[in-house]
Amino acid sequence: MKLKIKDMDIATGGPLVAVMNNKDAMKFDIHHLDRIKIKKGKKVETVVVGIAESSKAMPEGRIGVYEEVVDSLKLKNNDKVSIMLARKPLSIEFIRKKLDGKTLNKNEIDQIVWDIVHNKLSESELTFFVAACYTNLMSIDETIMLTKAIAKHGATLKLGKYPVIDKHSIGGIPGNRTTMVLVPIIAAAGLTMPKTSSRSITSPAGTADAMEVLAKVSFPINKMKEIIMKTNGCIVWGGSLNLAPADDKIITVERTLEIDAESQLLASIMAKKYSASSTHILIDIPIGNGGKVKNKEEALKLKQAFEEVGKRLRKHVRVMITDGKQPIGNGIGPALEARDVLWVLRRDKRRPLDLERKCIAMAAEILKMTGIKDSKSKAMEILESGKAYKKMKEIIKAQNGKIFDPDRIRIGKFELDIKAGKSGVVKGIDNRTIARLARVAGAPADKGAGIYLYKHVNDKIKKGEKLFTIYSESKHKLRFVKEAIKKLPGTIAIK
Amino acid sequence: MKLKIKDMDIATGGPLVAVMNNKDAMKFDIHHLDRIKIKKGKKVETVVVGIAESSKAMPEGRIGVYEEVVDSLKLKNNDKVSIMLARKPLSIEFIRKKLDGKTLNKNEIDQIVWDIVHNKLSESELTFFVAACYTNLMSIDETIMLTKAIAKHGATLKLGKYPVIDKHSIGGIPGNRTTMVLVPIIAAAGLTMPKTSSRSITSPAGTADAMEVLAKVSFPINKMKEIIMKTNGCIVWGGSLNLAPADDKIITVERTLEIDAESQLLASIMAKKYSASSTHILIDIPIGNGGKVKNKEEALKLKQAFEEVGKRLRKHVRVMITDGKQPIGNGIGPALEARDVLWVLRRDKRRPLDLERKCIAMAAEILKMTGIKDSKSKAMEILESGKAYKKMKEIIKAQNGKIFDPDRIRIGKFELDIKAGKSGVVKGIDNRTIARLARVAGAPADKGAGIYLYKHVNDKIKKGEKLFTIYSESKHKLRFVKEAIKKLPGTIAIK
């Protein structure tokens, strides 16, 4: 069958998709979500078909193609193409196998990941894979194969250095901006730490969002390498590097149901470390409300899985289980967190000591892993001597940044103080509510928006004293915060 | 945020979808597959958002909307609309609950079905629901709630008659065109049988495809009612009646992985019977290769489930387990099957006796269920006296058909005889291969295409005698058949 191209002038953001009129589809026995081959000249591409019910949506004799197909076949409006029914990708059978509770082998997992990366699966098929791995948890063997496959079908960073340090904090705890303190300490110690971070998905800020307040974070992989060669470290956004493109697509689907299968969490984190050729990896598992890990039992199980996967991938993996029952640091939101970090690095008296303590403990653990003795004193010395701050300035400069002075960071000019209704001791801070309010105030899109905490758990407070300030970049959003806070009482519990 | 409408001029066939530029999305912290509310005047609709990465795909300041959204909000190109972030539909939480292996209650199932029917779920979310029910099988209670919810959120057929007869054959066996013989027998017996059938999805013909050779099959529900009031029966396509729209959407997703959860199979079949107000239902479960049910154990389990669901829905349900190890009847493909049916009804000596025997057994079972004595002789008498054929003519006329004479049915003019390579006895006929060849020949889209079998299992055959003929409406497709048959040896086993 020959059809005329209609350029839909729109991208799907992934799957290769075309649209046919239902009469054309019927003639060829093609159903919604079937696959067809589109042939133009010698070029052939397999796409998933949507069926338009009306000829207004798609006239007979025409086939609508989305940008990914236009690009792949170099199509123009009104080009004539041939259409053939195509077979489903190989991985469909393997996805069904996993859905049936069976174990996948290396080739099967590899094929699935290849098909994901090359946009061969429809949204529905990819979802079946995610659901299958969620309900029929992958074994450690499968998780390792998945990790390697995700890393293999993406870019890799080769530095020719040893050791190469990496760290990852499991998300969900507001603040907790350890990476921006750790990288300069480790790099100042002479070790290589090529850190890629994510932007916020559901939190008030990711490390990439906070670092972006001080410097650029989006670089191609060769530029990232240059930065590392110059400074020993970097703090960049992982999203533009294509280190684990399959994982990025899997996460998009997971978000629709807010699920996160343990095997996919492991593979997702470890694949990126594997692609970055890391040799020594520290994993931070904070336990707390609003976090991914709710209790010690879950944390220990996850710790064991990380250690096992690490061993099998021949990586040095150390896991710290940490306290995540309240925000870490005082600032919540990109600018407020970046300011906390610079205060710690500059030994400013306003620095949050909880964040500093945690960073020193993590840095000591990393240094110890690489065989450095008295690692805690060493980490402390690097921080106190100003070497870490000096290194951070180098990194900021290398990443085209200009802000080194925390007082030059722009914080939202509209503010609202929340004061204690009674005197007593702070008994708890609700991570979820803090995160929610910071987001309503505009974080992470509005860099200056967020929350600044004056009190942490066990601090004494007097009636009328400030608990926290909410910052916003617009009056409008601050009004939303005022409304939201009425519905969210008990952000901070005092007894 | 205010955006200007870009009419995408394309339907999704279901979900309400809009597309935004990634910069606009970032400003509002909106991610791919998030939901937003679009407001125009007083009208508000919640849609799923796709994010376009380039401004070519979607310029800043504009929002692309698919037909379903255009219709719902009565939008025009360049209309200004307001955008707000929206919450996910209620059912997302329930879908996650099922995915976590928990049991759903009536309200939760009802909400999911409502959201499916009203296009509130994205393709990915609907897929999670299907996957959840597949891996965590629904209980009988849940299946009944699902059945009622599917029926409730769709059209219903009320005839004010008792009894109302219905039947369903579980698919996968080529031929097996029992409905077209049964409906005229039962209707001639004075009982009401408003039969809705499906078109083929993966087989060479569905009942609706075969009936369409003789008459129209697509009617609105009030016209269907008229036909039944006039003739006691009908054989129409269920797809245009909107009896179980949720089920139609679920099936589309199941097809992508070719899975069929038992609970959804039950709910799918029974919901349609429930919507049609059927009181007496006969279920035919054929066991055989290529069929949905592979062995007696599975068949008995399914029988029990059908009986239990029937009882709980206060319906008379009888289940027959039948032999499906070879095609039923001689013709495979819409026209060839319709001819078989008319031959049986007209007592033509060319009629397939296996199909006739099966139809008599089924008709007898139905008559017995309604309290008619000597039901087998009664069914036989109706068929042999020509009353069934007379009734079929009435039904064909009522459905705007004109073909009553089997010799006027147009069979594909290109043919290929397949002959026995040796003498012996037919030991087996591979259902899947027969179905595949008939489809390659053009069935069901080419009504005249298909296969005519001369031999069934246990028949003697001499070397060089015809096993079957393949019919096609084009030379081109017959050439495909010749290629396919080389790769598919052993269609019929002779020993």
- Domain presence at residue A159: no
Centroid of chain to Cα B278: 18
Quickly state the pLDDT bin for B483 (edges 50, 70, 90): confident
Residues A170 and A245 in one domain: yes
Residues of A in contact with B252 (CB under 8 A): 31-33
Q: In angstroms, rounded to a whole number, what is the distance separating the alpha carbons of residues A301 and A315?
A: 19
A232 touches A187 (CB < 8 A): yes
Q: Is A312 exposed, middle or buried (0-12, 13-18, 19+ CB in 10 A)?
A: middle
Is the confidence at residue A490, as pLDDT, over 90? no
Distances (CA, A) of B259 to A128, B256, B299, B328, B458: 11, 8, 17, 24, 33
Q: Please report which helix (H) or strand (E) contains residue B82, including its range.
A: strand B80-85
Total length of chain B: 495
- A131–B252: do the CB atoms touch at under 8 Å? no
Residues B11 and B117 in one domain: no
Is the confidence at residue B68, as pLDDT, over 90? no
Centroid of chain to Cα A266: 13
**Kindly report the CA angle at A373 between A371 and A378, in degrees rounded to 5?**
115
- Dig out the tokens for B474 from the structure: 């084009």
Per-residue confidence (pLDDT) for residue A119, from 0 to 100? 84
- Domain presence at residue B145: no
Say if the ipTM goes beyond 0.85: no
Order of strands, sheet of A466-472, starting from the edge strand that comes earlier in the sequence: A331-332, A450-453, A466-472, A414-419
Instruction: Give the closest residue to A322 by CA, choosing from A356, A297, A358, A347.
Output: A358
Distances (CA, A) of B173 to A396, B200, B317, B326, B330: 69, 12, 22, 7, 12
Residues B124 and B231 in one domain: no
State which amino acid sits at residue B103.
T
Quickly state the pLDDT bin for A63 (edges 50, 70, 90): very high
State which amino acid sits at residue B183.
V
Per-residue confidence (pLDDT) for residue B251, from 0 to 100? 87
Q: In angstroms, rounded to a whole number, what is the distance separating the alpha carbons of residues A107 and A94?
A: 10
Residues A414 and A402 in one domain: no
Instruction: Give the closest residue to B285 by CA, choosing from B275, B297, B274, B276.
Output: B297
Residues B296 and B418 in one domain: no
For A93, residues 6+ apart whose C-beta sits below 8 A from its C-beta are none
Q: At what angle do helices A179-188 and A375-384 cross, to 10 degrees?
A: 100
| Distance in Å, alpha carbon of A31 to nearest chain B alpha carbon | 8
* Local structure of B142: helix, strand or coil: helix
Q: Is B384 exposed, middle or buried (0-12, 13-18, 19+ CB in 10 A)?
A: exposed
Four-point Cα dihedral A113, A118, A121, A126, nearest 10: 40
* Local structure of B78: helix, strand or coil: coil
Instruction: Give the closest residue to A270 by CA, choosing from A243, A240, A231.
Output: A243
Q: Where are the beta strands (DSSP E) in A41-79?
A: 43-52, 62-65
Q: In angstroms, rounded to a whole number, what is the distance separating the alpha carbons of residues A109 and A94?
A: 8
Per-residue confidence (pLDDT) for residue B201, from 0 to 100? 74
Per-residue confidence (pLDDT) for residue B189, from 0 to 100? 98
Average pLDDT over residues B253-282: 90
Choose among B99, B252, B445: nearest Cβ to A27. B445
Q: In angstroms, rounded to a whole number, what is the distance separating the alpha carbons of residues A108 and A97?
A: 10
- Dig out the tokens for B415 from the structure: 């043919």
How many Cα atoms are found within 13 Å in the side-chain-facing hemisphere of A139? 10
- Dig out the tokens for A90 from the structure: 């190989």
Average pLDDT over residues A356-376: 97
pLDDT digits (tens, 9 = 90+) for B303-320: 999 999 999 999 999 999
Query: Which residue(s) pair with A83 in the sheet?
Result: A38
- A259–B99: do the CB atoms touch at under 8 Å? yes
Choose among A13, A28, A50: nearest Cβ to B12. A50
Is the confidence at residue A30, as pLDDT, over 90? no
- Domain presence at residue B154: no
Choosing among A256, A477, A487, which should be mutated to test the B contact, i.e. which has the most B CBs within 10 A? A256
Average pLDDT over residues B221-239: 95
The dihedrals phi and psi of B364, each to the nearest 5 degrees, come to -60, -40
Q: Which residue has the higher pLDDT, B338 or A294?
A: B338
Is the confidence at residue B487, as pLDDT, over 80? no
Find the largest Cα–Cα distance for chain A.
Answer: 79
Per-residue confidence (pLDDT) for residue A484, from 0 to 100? 83
Per-residue confidence (pLDDT) for residue B488, from 0 to 100? 72
Residue in A with minimal Cα distance to B95: A257
- A131–B136: do the CB atoms touch at under 8 Å? no
Q: In angstroms, rounded to a whole number, what is the distance separating the alpha carbons of residues A201 and A208?
A: 11
Q: In angstroms, rounded to a whole number, what is the distance separating the alpha carbons of residues A52 and A26?
A: 11
pLDDT digits (tens, 9 = 90+) for B25-44: 877 767 777 889 999 989 99
State which amino acid sits at residue A74.
K
Per-residue confidence (pLDDT) for residue B351, from 0 to 100? 98
Burial B415-430 (b: 16+ CB within 10 A, else e): ebebebeeeeebeebb
State which amino acid sits at residue B332.
I
pLDDT digits (tens, 9 = 90+) for B154-163: 999 999 999 9
Residues B402 and B441 in one domain: no
Residue in B with minimal Cα distance to A201: B31
- A444–B29: do the CB atoms touch at under 8 Å? yes
pLDDT digits (tens, 9 = 90+) for B331-376: 999 999 999 999 999 999 999 999 999 999 999 999 999 999 999 9
Q: Please report which helix (H) or strand (E) contains residue B85, including its range.
A: strand B80-85
Give the residue from A85, A101, A117 where a domain finishes.
Answer: A85
pLDDT digits (tens, 9 = 90+) for A168-203: 999 889 999 999 999 999 999 999 999 999 888 778
A101 touches B135 (CB < 8 A): yes
Give the residue from B85, B109, B128 where a domain finishes.
Answer: B85
- A33–B131: do the CB atoms touch at under 8 Å? no
- Domain presence at residue A182: yes
Per-residue confidence (pLDDT) for residue A379, from 0 to 100? 98
Report how far apart the first and last C-alpha atoms of chain A are (Å, whole number): 76
* Local structure of B175: helix, strand or coil: strand
Residues A439 and A308 in one domain: no
Is the confidence at residue B166, as pLDDT, over 90? yes
Q: In angstroms, rounded to a whole number, what is the distance separating the alpha carbons of residues B375 and B380?
A: 9
Whether the ω angle into residue A444 lies within 30 degrees of 0, i.e. cis, is: yes
- Dig out the tokens for A33 from the structure: 């979500």
- Domain presence at residue B341: yes
- Domain presence at residue B147: no
Choose among A13, A67, A445: nearest Cβ to B26. A445
Is the confidence at residue A345, as pLDDT, over 90? yes
Which structural domain, as residue segments, surrounds residue B127?
Answer: 91-136
Query: Which residue(s) pair with A40 in the sheet?
Result: A43
Burial B237-251 (b: 16+ CB within 10 A, else e): bbbebebbbbbbbbb
Find the largest Cα–Cα distance for chain B.
Answer: 79
CATH number at residue A330: 3.40.1030.10
Q: Which residue has the higher pLDDT, B289 or B414?
A: B414
The dihedrals phi and psi of A7, each to the nearest 5 degrees, come to -75, 115
Instruction: Give the closest residue to A123 by CA, choosing from A13, A269, A274.
Output: A13
Least confident of A58-72, A250-264, A467-481, B380-394: A250-264
Residues B272 and B302 in one domain: yes
Q: In angstroms, rounded to a whole number, what is the distance separating the alpha carbons of residues A180 and A349?
A: 18
Q: In angstroms, rounded to a whole number, what is the distance separating the alpha carbons of residues A283 and A273?
A: 11
Give the residue from A69, A85, A101 where a domain finishes.
Answer: A85
| Distance in Å, alpha carbon of A155 to nearest chain B alpha carbon | 20
- B10–A57: do the CB atoms touch at under 8 Å? yes
Residues B387 and B439 in one domain: no
Instruction: Give the closest residue to A24 by CA, choosing from A42, A7, A49.
Output: A49
Q: In angstroms, rounded to a whole number, what is the distance separating the alpha carbons of residues A296 and B312?
A: 45
- Catalytic residue positions of A? 260
Per-residue confidence (pLDDT) for residue B264, from 0 to 100? 87
Per-residue confidence (pLDDT) for residue A262, from 0 to 100? 84
Total number of domains constituting chain B: 4
Q: Where are the beta strands (DSSP E) in A359-419?
A: 414-419
A123 touches A253 (CB < 8 A): yes
Residues B77 and B174 in one domain: no
Quickly state the pLDDT bin for B443 (edges 50, 70, 90): very high
State which amino acid sits at residue A281.
I
Is the confidence at residue A308, as pLDDT, over 90? yes
Query: Looking at residue B71, what DSSP letter applies?
Result: H
Per-residue confidence (pLDDT) for residue A239, from 0 to 100? 83
- Domain presence at residue B448: yes
- Domain presence at residue B153: no
CATH number at residue B478: 3.90.1170.30
Per-residue confidence (pLDDT) for residue B270, from 0 to 100? 95
- pTM for the complete prediction? 0.86
Average pLDDT over residues B408-423: 95
Is the confidence at residue A52, as pLDDT, over 90? no
- A33–B256: do the CB atoms touch at under 8 Å? yes
Q: What percent of chain B has pLDDT over 90?
A: 72
B344 touches B354 (CB < 8 A): no
Residues A423 and A459 in one domain: yes
A28 touches B480 (CB < 8 A): no
Query: Which residue(s) pair with B247 in the sheet?
Result: none
- A56–B50: do the CB atoms touch at under 8 Å? no
Residues B227 and B319 in one domain: yes
Residue in A with minimal Cα distance to B127: A124
Residues of A in contact with B444 (CB under 8 A): 29
Residue in B with minimal Cα distance to A7: B57
Centroid of chain to Cα B323: 21
Per-residue confidence (pLDDT) for residue A356, from 0 to 100? 98
Quickly state the pLDDT bin for A388 (edges 50, 70, 90): very high
Neighbours of A137 (CB within 10 A): 12
Q: In angstroms, rounded to a whole number, what is the distance separating the alpha carbons of residues A29 and B372?
A: 43
| Distance in Å, alpha carbon of B34 to nearest chain A alpha carbon | 7
